[in-house]
Amino acid sequence: MIRKIDHMVITTTDINRCIVFYQKLGFKVKNTADRYELFAGDFKINVHIKGNEFIPHAENIQTGSADFCLEICSDIEQFKKFLESQGLSILEGIVLRNGTNGKMDSIYLYDPDGNLIEFCCYE
């Protein structure tokens, strides 16, 4: 039976810009032989470079096509101030949404490749 998501993969056109962005969010970066991994909480995001993806990979690779939600462990107002202090542009939020565990407050922003990232905090 399925338990949880272990990792996901995003594809970037500019690895340095991508890494800097995710470090601003608090991700820890590991680079092993040009294989980039972003760690936070109990999961990771593997980063592939467009045109140099690891095999196997998705059939129709596109940058900016991911849309995912990350649950935060702090107050949503504090997190919004944190994002702003990092110079990150908020697309939308704080807004009320429904997630896996019910009602949650969310903030949305785009990463440098156009992936939509939602950050949520349950009430």
Cα separation, 44 vs 41, in Å, equals 8
Q: Exactly one of 71, 77, 84, 118 is catalytic; which is it?
A: 118
Q: How far is CA 22 from CA 18, 29, 44, 65, 109, in A?
A: 6, 8, 11, 17, 12
Question: Catalytic: 118?
Answer: yes
Q: Does domain 7-122 have CATH number 2.60.40.1180?
A: no
The pLDDT of residue 102 is above 90: yes
pTM as predicted: 0.93
pLDDT, tens only, 25-56: 999 999 988 899 999 999 999 999 999 998 89
3-state secondary structure of 116: strand
pLDDT, tens only, 56-91: 999 999 999 999 999 999 899 999 999 999 999 999
Write down the pLDDT at residue 54: 87
User: Backbone phi, then psi, for 80, in 5-degree steps?
Assistant: -60, -45
